[in-house]
Every structure is written in C-alpha cells, then in structure tokens.
Structure 1
Amino acid sequence: MKWIIRLFSMLLALLFIFPLIWMLIVSVKVEGMKITTLLDWFTPPYSFAVYQEVMTQTKLMQWVWNSFFVAVCVMVLTVLMAAMAGYAMSKINFRYKSFMFFFILAGLLIPGEAILIPLYQVAKDLDILNSYQGLIFPVLASPFAIIILKSFFDGVPNDLIESVQIDGGGIWRIFGSIMLPLVRPALASMAILTFIGSWNNFLWPFLSVTDDNLYTLPMGIPTLMDQYTEDYVKPMVINTISSIPIMILFLIFERQIVKGISMSGIKG
C-alpha cells in the first residue's frame, strides 16, 4: 500500500512540476525555431542568447530589483508591526482592547479594492506617489497577520512572562527576547506569505506608479509580453527570470512555511 501512495505522490509531483520544466527548456531554445512536433520543444539546439538580450535591452532586471526591494521592505515592516500589535492585543491590558480586536478583525471583511480610492488620495496628499515609499507604506497594515500572530502569542504561558517581569524585564525585553523566539515559525510563515503577496501585487503599483523605472514585475511583464506575441522563447525567458527569486525563496524556507502553517499555537 505504501508504494502505491509513494508512486501516486511522485506522479502528482511530476504533474505539478512539468510546467516549470517546460518553461525552463523553452526559455533556452533558439528564437524563431520552427516547432512541428511535441519533441521539438525538448530537443537541441539550445542557446542563452535570448537571456542576454532580455537582461541587457529591457528594464526587466530593474523591475526584478524593484519587486525584490519592495517585497523585502513590506515583509520586514509588516511582520514587525503585526508582531508588536499581536503582542499588545494578546499580553498587554489597555482600555478598549476588545473593541480594537474586533476593529482589526473587521478589516478582514473589507475587500482591498474598497479602500483604493481613499488610500490613493492619502498617498497623493502625502506626495509619495511614483516613489518607493508609495509602493511600500500604504500596504503595510495586515489584519490577517495581526490575528494569526496574536493567536500564537495567546499560547505563550503568562507565568513565563511574569517570571521575566519579576527579574526586572520590561515590555520590550519580553517582546524581543522571549516572545519573538517562541513564535518564530509563525513569524517565518507570515514573512513568506507577505513577501509572496507583495511580489505578486499588481493593483496598487498599477495605481500608484507611472514611471517605468519604478515598475514592479506584475506591471512590467505585460508591457514586454505585448511586444513578443509571435514567439514563445522571450515570454518564457521573462517568466523564468521573474520566477527564479520566488522559487529560491520557497526552497530555502519550505520547512518554516509548512511548520508555521501546521502549528495551531504553542502549548504551555
């Protein structure tokens, strides 16, 4: 029975990985090559000339850097803000705490498209449109991340916090030295999900940026695709280059992602 399950799992994995393999192989084909049979996609000749052309004659690498820089900044700032808010909502007593929690929870019920107009107006009034600040700051608030991290902080025993307080530890020491290390899987999970969400974000960059030097990949790629509708090689090269960073990120942090999502909390 086990070998049947393993065989089925391998076949399923091949089914999902085949499009990636096909993309990589087609991206190194010779541009303009005639394709008459299925095997022609996978047979020589191969060439990296199109890679060099795309990287030197287009702004794709600039857009890759823009996407990476914006995604890293959004990831770090969002997780940091969500961790502080989640810690406060979980372990610090203050007035209107319940109201604030339900206020944050209500943020999950509001579609992002509904706040685009006021968000754009605020960004315009702050004069941060067409800038990295305009791509980063308006998307930092994440009710989902706050609620998830709060649930993890709820699982940390209060006795542990009280023992640190008895030893003279303040709020920031408890937060930085005790709480964050204990919820590291959740932080890693939220960081990766936030990075991917920012990397794939199209709507807000589309509204807030008109300078093509500040384009992110979801904005820039369609402009290149419109130029190369008669050939498969250049689109596959563009997609391969834009996919490599996110695939590397997933391979490095796969264990943290799975562990963070599978855990429901910390048992005290």
Structure 2
Amino acid sequence: MTENSQRISISRIIVYIVSYLFVVIWLLPLLWMVFTSLKPAGSAVTVLTELISPPFTWANFEFVTSNASVWRWTWNSTVIAVITTAGTLAMTSLAAFALSRLRFRGKTFVFWLIIGGLMVPTEATIIPLFQMMIDNGLVNSYSSIILPSLAAPLGVMILKQFYDGIPNELVEAAKIDGAGLIRIYASIFVPLSRSSMAALAIFTFISSWNNFLWPFLAISDENMMTLPIGIPLFQGTYQIELTIPMAANVLASFPAILVFIIFQKHIIKGITMTGIKG
C-alpha cells in the first residue's frame, strides 16, 4: 500500500469516526425521549441505569390520547403540512420556470426581489400579516397558516438554478412538436426536477409540521390547533412529571421523523442534482 493510499484510508477513517459521533449525538436525545415516554409515572428518568431498565409501559401514550386532542391536532397538522407542501411546489416550480425560460421586462429585478425575501426575518412580518388575516376574516382557519407559507423564495432559487441547467435542445424539440409552455413545463421540467422537488417537498413538510410561532398567533381555537401548539398547552399541567410530556412529544415527532427517514435519499440526490449544469 502506497503512502498516498494510506493517507486516504486514514482520512476516510477519521471522516467515518466523526460522522458516527455526530449520529450518536443526534440520536441520544431521541432515545432519551423514547425511553422516558415508556417508563411508569414517577420513574427516575435522569438515572441512565434506571432509564433503560424495565419496567416499561404504554400507559403514558394511552393517557395522552385519552386526555388531549392529539388525534385532532395530528389531523390539523397533516392537512396543513400536505396542502402547504403541494401549494409550495406548484408555486415555486411555476415561478422558477417563468424566471428561467420566459422573456419579459424586469425579469432580473423580479428574481432578485424574490431572493430578497430570504433576508426579511419572519418576526418583521408578523404584525402586518396578522392584521391582514383579521381584515379578511381568516383567523382560526387553515388558510391563515397555509397562505403565508406558500411564499418560498429559497424554493424558487433552487428550482430556477436546476431549470437553467436543462438543455435548450429539449425545449426547442418540444416546440417543434407543437408543445406549448404548459406542456413543456409538465412534460420536461417537472419530470427532470423530481429529485429537487422531492427534497424541497421534504423540507417544506417538516418545516410546516414543526412551525410554532405563526400558528401560535393565528390560532386560538383548541380544535384548530396543530401539534406544536397543542402539545405545549397539554404539557403545561405536567411541570414535574416527565413521562407523560415525553409520550406526547414522541407522538408529535414521529410523523416528521418517519418522513425524513423514508425520503432522506431524495434530499441528498436533490441537493446534489441542483448544482448540475448542462
């Protein structure tokens, strides 16, 4: 084995060690949450040996589902996250297609105006946005959470960068065959950008699922609350006991973690392909 090969092997080993270290650091809080949720009420969950030792019970999950509107909050979160994701993909892909392939006056200015939205903090828009929802009677509705989330400048930027790399020959061939703009968009750009759109969809879904600040302000009706709002409200009555709040957190976190685990390869592939040109 040459010196260069040895150097590469050592570097790879170091990368693996560091990667696994980060995995362990990421998993420890999740494992602590799961084990705590399975312990009987009053257990010493801060002692490692007692935390991972029997007895375990499902009673905490039964208590949470019986005494809190978890299923209603889960339904609200699912509806909002799914509609937000679908709407964001439609709007960002159409906007990116227009900015990438259409010719119109002020296109560069429009693009940079959209990108400028990334520099505006969410907190700066809350007051006018809330007043807008009140004026239109949208408070305590799905629309009050979904509509503001559809504007995604980062998604436009990512998809436009990918669309710029699609060869013009494909577009010209489609035009020769008599395809219009909508058909070109649906038959060429959407299929080729599936990985990038899948990555964007996952990020959007998880972001919508975990969104707290704006839903907390826009929703006051308990039946309309999402999990990130309802769970803390439920936990407020269990300041000392940890097992029941952790069971509620497991129920709230499970869907987002499951979506990430199932579709994680699309995130890597989508981000990688976004930078490909030609």
Q: TM-score range by the shorter chain?
A: over 0.9
| 2: CA distance, partners of 1:36 / 1:129 | 41
Unaligned runs of 5+ in 2: 1-9
The CA deviation string for residues 165-194 of structure 1, in whole angstroms up to 9 with x for no partner, is 000011111101100111111101111111
Secondary structure, counterpart of 2:171 in structure 1? helix
| 2: CA distance, partners of 1:197 / 1:36 | 30
The farther-off stretch of 18-27 and 68-77 is 18-27
1:24 paired residue among 34, 45, 48: 34
Q: 1:125 to 1:8 in 2, by over 3 A?
A: closer
1:107 paired residue among 117, 120, 131: 117
| 1: CA distance, partners of 2:168 / 2:159 | 16
Identity of aligned residues (%): 43
Q: 1:246 to 1:35 in 2, by over 3 A?
A: closer
The farther-off stretch of 254-263 and 147-156 is 254-263
1:250 has 2:257 as partner: no
Give 2:64's aligned residue: 54
Kindly tell me the number of residue pairs found equivalent between the two proteins: 268
Q: Supply the RMSD in Å over aligned alpha carbons.
A: 1.7
The CA deviation string for residues 128-158 of structure 1, in whole angstroms up to 9 with x for no partner, is 1111111211221111111111111101111
Normalized against structure 2, the TM-score is what?
Answer: 0.91
1:260 paired residue among 259, 263, 270: 270
| 2: CA distance, partners of 1:47 / 1:109 | 47
| 2: CA distance, partners of 1:111 / 1:6 | 36
Secondary structure, counterpart of 1:168 in structure 2? coil
Give 1:212's aligned residue: 222
* Conserved? CA contact 1:82–1:145, under 8 Å: yes
Give 1:187's aligned residue: 197
1:222 has 2:228 as partner: no
| 1: CA distance, partners of 2:103 / 2:138 | 36
Q: 1:183 to 1:37 in 2, by over 3 A?
A: closer
Quote how far apart the aligned CAs of 1:109 are: 1.7
* Conserved? CA contact 2:159–2:274, under 8 Å: no
Give 1:199's aligned residue: 209
The farther-off stretch of 234-243 and 135-144 is 135-144
Alignment-mate amino acid for residue 231 of structure 1: E
